[in-house]
Structure 1
Amino acid sequence: MFLSPFRRLLLIACACLAGVNTASAAVPNVEAALACAPTTPCASPLPVRMVIVTMFEIGADSGDAPGEFQLWKERRKLDTRIPFPQGYHDLHYNPDSQILAMVTGVGTARSATATMALGLDPRFDLSKSYWLVAGIAGIDPEDASIGSAAWARYSVDGDLVHEVDAREIPKDWPSGFFPLDKNGPHDKSPPITEGRVFALNPKLADWAFALTRDTPIPDDAGIQKERASYSGYPNAQKPPFVLIGDQFSAMTFWHGKLMNQWANDYARYATSGKGEFVTSAMEETGTLQAMTYLDRVGRAKMDRVMVLRSGSNYSMPPDGVSAADNLMRENEGYSGMRASLESLYLVGSKVVDELLGHWDRYEKAPPQ
């Protein structure tokens, strides 16, 4: 993509208006990087200060109903499209802010392979990059309301388990699931965490929460009506807010009070009581497994990864509504979809602006 002198000045002005400090960095040579093939050595890799990791988009990348990617693309002027044939979706970049955004595709297989493919792509210098995983999620009404945004300290894998159909489980089993390598659901020997529990940098998560905890998140009549039905759950009835809360990653889109209890119990068990299930999604353990491997070979830094999930729907129904009925209704559209996308962008952007606006400080070491 050719950038005229006028275009370069315009992009720099836009970046400054967005709160990004560009004074200390020259505009990267985008044309030279685009001339490199995705899997061959590149003499002019693009420097990346921030990677925004989203999982899906709806329709076009801009101009229609947004998914997780669109608000970042439009509002952060990510206008340089970079072919990414080894992944699900092309990448988008802003040469002035040095923000790179990706869409991994839904599920752990796609998120893991796309993250690994980006990390090993010689067209990008990711040696100092911060990574922000920003996606919508189911949210536990015991902890928060839809539209709320949770910074995770842990991501727990809910797929590596034994399963017995709920119609056949013994009466003394709390659920039909128990961890691999365990002798039944009552086996409480120490959990195996390798590949099943990913601990994020707790100081970075706490810093992000402290920075964003008072971020105003828009409320609307639709989510007010939805949360009013959760009369027995005080946190579910609050207007959207920012919190610390851990992420439960499973490829099955589960729903219901009993499944919600399973997620809570398993998250506490897997983290030895340190974690608290708040959001449910599919991709994090794939993304974080890839990041762990990339960190080992110096292609990325695991201690610079943040996970932010916002609630688009509750992970269980209100009292008096069956899990099946509520799930079918949700499949027609999440009541908190737009609210959760705005929440993701508003809360996540505050962290992005702080990191990039003081890059001379944060490029050296993560904030604490």
Structure 2
Amino acid sequence: MFKHFPSLTAVAATLAFSACASTFAQDADDFRGSSHSGQNVKVMIISMFGPEGQVWLDKLGPWKTVSVPGLSPDYPVVHCNRQEICVMTTGMGHANAAASLMALTFSDKFDLRRTYFMIAGIAGIDPIRGTIGSAAWAKYLVDFGIQWEVDAREKPDSWPSGYLGINTKSPGEKPPLDYKTEVFQLNPALADVAYALSRNVALSDGAEAQAARAKFGYAPANQPPKVIQCDTLAGDTWWSGKYIGERARDWTKQLTDGKGVYCTTQQEDNATYEALKRAASAHKVDLNRVAAVRTGSDFDRPYEGQSASDNLLNYAAQGGFAPAIENLYRAGNPLVQDIVTHWGEWRDGVPRR
């Protein structure tokens, strides 16, 4: 199941996001950076829709806004504070994520060559790896959308699902990766530092989330949320169910040669990374400085006795939205603050710790 909640609450938060941030006066010395290279940024937080960005705006201001041509018309500005922490929102889905990141990274408004990028969004979560509210730092980004598919009612009996890799002969065969965006590996050193900094933080929870959790008869689904390490799957089709979920697990292992472990499902991360990769090829960003954290807002499959359709149609009733949004900040902020507080250690790359 995928994760965004286009409810009235989210719409209101999105509208508030566009005009919410307080601004502060600045002089020529603020946000240092020569005119030809743009202002410096130590950390760029990448959110995908209003509430994901709003949690940062509420806690780390005051802010100034920078308009960037080519960003989503719903989120046309980047917010930056005095610590050189910035927040951008791409808009939901692959196309919005790629377009917004390309606009940002090829803009002359910022110097991003030493910037650390943190993708921070909510996601569906695999109940054998985490639970509602859990925060997962990924080392692999896997695209679930770049596959062949036949309707499961028409698949060969020997196939576990209707999915298989493009230009393969069976679901168990690894595809040739002709698109070159099917799988990306993030800097494991950065992922490990991010996890170490946040692993013991107290995460937010709620009564509705606890009730939804209790319907599962096994851990970690029925346990309190915590910070974990496992990998994330991107694709624009929202899905739910045991069998698609098993394909998600198998596909992640297949594309990572058994090294990756699927646990969260979202829409944007491979598109975001590919845009950053294009910018890196033009020496505008450093791909070793990209981290991704996703928090569980709903389960990707039903509990025993529940239908896959009920799990999908009533995802919001799981009560995971508010804790997941709050836990983006709680799990992500230790890394953000360590970078800006100890910039001397981080300036030239991820420190060894």
TM-score normalised by structure 2 residue count: 0.88
Task: Specify the SS of the correspondent of 2:52.
Answer: coil
> Measured at CA, do residues 333 and 46 of structure 1 come closer, stay the same or move farther in structure 2, by a change above 3 Å?
farther
Q: Does 1:175 align with 2:161?
A: yes
Correspondence for 2:254 among 269, 272, 280? 269
Structure 1 residue aligned with 2:331: 347
Task: Please tell me the residue identity of whatever aligns with 1:276.
Answer: V
Q: Does 1:84 align with 2:68?
A: yes
> Measured at CA, do residues 176 and 211 of structure 1 come closer, stay the same or move farther in structure 2, by a change above 3 Å?
same
Task: Please tell me the residue identity of whatever aligns with 1:164.
Answer: V
User: Which whole-Å CA distance do the structure 1 matches of 2:172 and 2:254 have between them?
Assistant: 11
Aligned Cα root-mean-square deviation (Å)? 2.1
Structure 1 residue aligned with 2:44: 51
Q: Does 1:336 align with 2:314?
A: no
- Alignment map for 1:210-221 (pairs within 5 Å): 210-221=196-207
Correspondence for 1:71 among 15, 35, 55? 55
User: Which whole-Å CA distance do the structure 2 matches of 1:157 and 1:78 have between them?
Assistant: 36
Q: Displacement, 1:187?
A: 3.1
User: Which whole-Å CA distance do the structure 1 matches of 2:57 and 2:271 have between them?
Assistant: 23
Q: Does 1:209 align with 2:212?
A: no
User: Which whole-Å CA distance do the structure 1 matches of 2:188 and 2:23 have between them?
Assistant: 41
Correspondence for 1:134 among 120, 131, 135? 120
- Alignment map for 1:252-331 (pairs within 5 Å): 252-330=237-315
Task: Specify the SS of the correspondent of 1:234.
Answer: coil
> Measured at CA, do residues 2 and 266 of structure 1 come closer, stay the same or move farther in structure 2, by a change above 3 Å?
closer
Say whether the 8 Å CA contact 1:27–1:95 is kept in structure 2: no
Structure 1: gaps (5+ residues):
9-25, 34-41, 58-66
Q: Displacement, 1:191?
A: 6.0
Say whether the 8 Å CA contact 2:142–2:255 is kept in structure 1: yes
User: Which whole-Å CA distance do the structure 2 matches of 1:188 and 1:75 have between them?
Assistant: 44
User: Which whole-Å CA distance do the structure 2 matches of 1:340 and 1:55 have between them?
Assistant: 14
TM-score normalised by structure 1 residue count: 0.85
Task: Specify the SS of the correspondent of 2:220.
Answer: helix
Q: Displacement, 1:304?
A: 0.2
Question: How many residues end up aligned between the 2 structures?
Answer: 329
Q: Displacement, 1:139?
A: 0.3
Aligned-residue identity in percent: 34
Q: Displacement, 1:222?
A: 1.4
Q: Displacement, 1:152?
A: 0.1
User: Which whole-Å CA distance do the structure 2 matches of 1:246 and 1:2 have between them?
Assistant: 37
- Alignment map for 1:122-271 (pairs within 5 Å): 122-188=108-174, 194-231=180-217, 233-271=218-256
User: Which whole-Å CA distance do the structure 2 matches of 1:212 and 1:2 have between them?
Assistant: 29
User: Which whole-Å CA distance do the structure 1 matches of 2:109 and 2:116 have between them?
Assistant: 17
Say whether the 8 Å CA contact 2:66–2:78 is kept in structure 1: yes
User: Which whole-Å CA distance do the structure 2 matches of 1:268 and 1:78 have between them?
Assistant: 43
Q: Displacement, 1:361?
A: 1.4
Say whether the 8 Å CA contact 2:80–2:87 is kept in structure 1: no
Structure 2: gaps (5+ residues):
1-21
> Which of these two proteins has the greater Rg computed from alpha carbons?
1
